[in-house]
Chain A
Amino acid sequence: MHGRVKVRTTEEERERKKKEQVLKMRAYRAAMTRIQKKRSLGELDDEMLGLTVQILLRNPDITTLWNIRRECVLRKTAELQMAMEKDEARSKQEVGKEDESDNPKVVKEDESDKPKVGEQGDGDKKAGEQKEDGTKEILAQQLQSIYKTELDLTEQCLMVNPKSYNGWHHRCWTLEQNPQADWQRELQLCNKYLKYDERNFHTWDYRRYVSDKASVPAEQELDFCTEKIKVNFSNYSSWHHRSLLLPKLYPNEQQDRPMSEHKLKEELEMVLTAAFTDPNDSSAWFYQRWLLGSGAHTEQKATVAAFRCWPHKAQLSLKRSHPELAQLTVQLISGQKTLQLQPWTSVNSEKNQWQCEQAIEIDPSQDYFLDVAGQRMQLAVQPSDQSLYYFVPPHATSSCSKELLAELQTQLQSCLDLLEYEPDSKWTLLTSALLMRAIDVSSYHEQSLTHLAKLEQVDALRQGYYQDLSARWTMEMALAKWPTSSSYPQLFELPTKMSRMPYAQYLIVADKISS
């Protein structure tokens, strides 16, 4: 139960309500008893449909009653099907007779082509009494009226409770039964329901289902989205729908951004206008952060972050956790020699650090390569102990065209201007930090951290999040700079002021970590 305010009522009122409820309860129980009795007797008839309607209109969440209606529908349509087959058989006989009399049958077939699919009927009464075409038409109409009854009922129920999973599912089920379903009409229905509640995720899900059935072009859906967003920027559902369409319509070839740079620039412009309209509304800002990100990370490949091996063991760190590393082929290659490294055991619960105890012959004068499931990396020699190692810092920045860079800079300036007037604006603080990092991580590093420090104050609920994000950015910077340091790779100097230590797996390359 959601959103029912507790109201104080008088004794009188309470009594009246109680009496009303007793009556409703009695009616409910009587109807349920009758329904269950009829069901056990296999009476899936019109009375059954009537009984279930009474209850479902009040409470569309009673799944069993929808199941019973589906049983009724299946029974009725099967009966129509039978009548239809009988009718077909009879008309074939008649056609046969006509053939004999040299009567061209083409015309006849053309006529009977129209109600092709649903041409079944309640044969018991009518078949045989009507002329052939008339019968088919009537049978088809009867079939459609069975479906229409269900569609009308779900529509009524959804008016009462637009979030009824059962109501929506029954509607889909009914349409799936009907080969002549009118998907365009369903699309209109979505428009109507989205006008009542533009955030109802059931309606949006239904819209995606229906537009797929009706083969609505993605461009058209995108236009619909744009219209919706223009009416109200604060519509996360609509931004979400958009985020599904754009990567398909405007794919990014390098796959380091959510969509093509050209479209990305346009989207950035649009979303910032939206966000500035009401800077306290989160919807557009979420979308903006997605635009600034690196797109989908669907690859579940094991990406090596660092590697080190000594004559008696090897250690391997992965960018992301990969529980199945033990099943991958890991090889150490030098010249003609290939050494299989196995077995691997994980040394932490995140399963991003692995170890392999094995005798490994190392000749520092040779070039060595590490091969993990086909990915090959060149190894270097640790001067301290002649071990072999590989290291690549996390997060390479995405490429950026001049046009896109210019747009990002304009946006950053707009955000900074806004902060002049509203220095505590949470979303502006965060977004400007993200824009800075999209433009140039290194030169804006300190300033972006200042924004996070400020966010810890103005958005104290999420203090822990900002602290961790700050630690992540700090560590990313330290790891990126490390290979240029004179102490690399023996010594890693841990940055100060970190809430915790992310990217710890990258440090297996170092002999010592100082703090």
Chain B
Amino acid sequence: MDFTTFVKPSNGGATESDDTSKLQFWKHVKYIENHGKQEDDYEYCMTEFLRMSGIFWGVTALDIMGQLDRLDRKSIIEFVKRCQCPVSGGFAPCEGHDPHMLYTLSAIQVLAIYDALDVIDCDAVVRFVVGLQQPDGSFFGDKWGEVDNRFSFCAVATLTLLKRMEQTIDVEKAVKFVMSCCNQTDGGFGSKPGAESHAGLIYCCVGFLSLTHRLHLLDVDKLGWWLCERQLPSGGLNGRPEKLPDVCYSWWVLSSLTIMGRLHWISSEKLQQFILSCQDTETGGFSDRTGNMPDIFHTLFGIGGLSLLGHPGLKAINPTLCMPQYIIDRLGIQPQVLNQA
């Protein structure tokens, strides 16, 4: 709640070469490269339930850094293939787990980056996504009925990457549901109707409207103001009022503002400083906040955030799909982005 007591970047043990004001490029490459090699690592083992997303985070971050060839393309594609459920068509996070919308999008994103969408049954994926749309336009995450705007985003992102949005789901109804979650107080979105606005869900809904080309439905001035108010004196962004800053929320807010053409409403310079201060200069990788343990999730959003801010040495990232822009161009996809106005 009290962000003035936020710990300043004074992590002990920093040596002269461990300068957090500069991007520790090769340490991050090493961190991500090693991530998949630690079969016996406790954290790695205990996070198998989200492995597919973990792979997406690593693959994307390395591609943004121009180092994708450090991972074994073939074995990753084989792994993804094995995770497609032969019955539902959706993807599981790893073998032995159940298919879910979240991991289906991650799988499609990984395959799109590797230009390998032809190795799986895409029609089955479309069937899976279409089958989860509800009469009110919302989407279930899987057959067990959880409704959340995250799944609306996953659905349209998956279909966009497969170029199958036309004549599959009911886009109008999907839009209507997402807009029914728009809060009049701040123009933001929560996970379902009536839910409090939250930067992560705002990214999902703004991203959803960008993919369905409906950004005109946003109250950009109202929402943009709430989003730029997420920036704290440390330069980092939080996800809701009076919360702590976080590298992943920095991405959710930054990408939403970029899509809305309002990136200039925050200080890019200060945000860049904050993201860099969250690097682990010993092991590589980024943490949520300065001085915390790094993980692969925050590493992607750290690298992705720096890319959106135009940091040199990084490839451009697409704010809507959180994937390298050249992949989006190669696929011929054009998520909507608003001009500065």
Residues in chain A within 8 A of chain B (CB atoms): 1-6, 8, 21-22, 24-25, 28-29, 32, 36, 59, 61-64, 66-67, 70, 165, 169, 173, 199, 201, 204-205, 208, 234, 236-237, 239-241, 243-244, 247, 258, 281-283, 286-287, 290, 293, 295-297, 300, 320-323, 349-351, 460-465, 468, 472, 500, 502
Determine whether the beta carbon of A63 is less than 8 Å from that of B287.
no
Distance in Å: Cβ of B238 to nearest Cβ of chain A: 10
With contacts A1-B288, A6-B292, A323-B216 taken as known, whether A349 is within 8 angstroms of B339 at the C-beta atoms is: yes
**Could you say which of A21, A29, A236, A502 contacts B241, with CB atoms under 8 Å apart?**
A236
Return the 6 tightest CB-CB contacts between A and B, nearest first: A321-B216, A21-B42, A464-B264, A465-B265, A296-B184, A64-B97
24 contacts between A and B (CB under 8 A): A1-B295, A4-B292, A5-B291, A5-B292, A8-B13, A25-B45, A61-B50, A63-B142, A64-B96, A64-B97, A199-B243, A205-B192, A208-B194, A234-B1, A243-B185, A247-B184, A282-B241, A283-B241, A323-B213, A323-B216, A349-B339, A460-B267, A461-B267, A500-B341
Q: Note all chain B residues with C-beta closer than 8 A to A244.
A: 194
Q: Note all chain A residues with C-beta closer than 8 A to B219.
A: 297
**Could you say which of B98, B229, B293 contacts A462, with CB atoms under 8 Å apart?**
B229
Determine whether the beta carbon of A64 is less than 8 Å from that of B216.
no
Q: Note all chain A residues with C-beta closer than 8 A to B216.
A: 320-323, 350-351
With contacts A59-B46, A243-B185, A286-B185 taken as known, whether A461 is within 8 angstroms of B231 at the C-beta atoms is: yes
Distance in Å: Cβ of A62 to nearest Cβ of chain B: 4
Distance in Å: Cβ of B260 to nearest Cβ of chain A: 12
Q: Note all chain A residues with C-beta closer than 8 A to B340.
A: 500
Determine whether the beta carbon of A236 is less than 8 Å from that of B240.
yes
Determine whether the beta carbon of A462 is less than 8 Å from that of B231.
yes
Determine whether the beta carbon of A1 is less than 8 Å from that of B297.
yes
Distance in Å: Cβ of A409 to nearest Cβ of chain B: 24
Q: Note all chain A residues with C-beta closer than 8 A to B196.
A: 201, 204-205, 236-237, 240-241
Q: Note all chain B residues with C-beta closer than 8 A to A295.
A: 184
Distance in Å: Cβ of A282 to nearest Cβ of chain B: 5
Known interface pairs A36-B96, A286-B185; 17 further A-B residue pairs with C-beta atoms within 8 A, sorted by A's residue number: A6-B287, A6-B291, A28-B45, A28-B46, A64-B97, A173-B145, A201-B196, A204-B195, A236-B196, A241-B196, A295-B184, A461-B235, A461-B266, A462-B231, A465-B225, A468-B264, A468-B265
Tell me the complex Cα distance, A320–B246, Å. 34
**Could you say which of A3, A32, A169, A472 contacts B289, with CB atoms under 8 Å apart?**
A3
Determine whether the beta carbon of A67 is less than 8 Å from that of B98.
yes
Q: Is B173 an interface residue (CB 8 A)?
A: no
Q: Is B146 an interface residue (CB 8 A)?
A: yes
Tell me the complex Cα distance, A287–B242, Å. 14
Tell me the complex Cα distance, A130–B291, Å. 65
Determine whether the beta carbon of B144 is less than 8 Å from that of A169.
yes
**Which secondary structure dominates chain A's binding surface?**
helix
Tell me the complex Cα distance, A75–B76, Å. 37
Tell me the complex Cα distance, A287–B222, Å. 12
Determine whether the beta carbon of B190 is less than 8 Å from that of A205.
yes
**Could you say which of A2, A62, A64, A287 contacts B288, with CB atoms under 8 Å apart?**
A2
Distance in Å: Cβ of A395 to nearest Cβ of chain B: 12
Q: Note all chain A residues with C-beta closer than 8 A to B221.
A: 472
Determine whether the beta carbon of B40 is less than 8 Å from that of A25.
yes
Q: Note all chain A residues with C-beta closer than 8 A to B1.
A: 234
Determine whether the beta carbon of B185 is less than 8 Å from that of A240.
yes
Smallest Cβ-Cβ distance to B97: which chain A residue = A64
Distance in Å: Cβ of A484 to nearest Cβ of chain B: 26
Q: Note all chain B residues with C-beta closer than 8 A to A208.
A: 194-195
Tell me the complex Cα distance, A32–B96, Å. 9
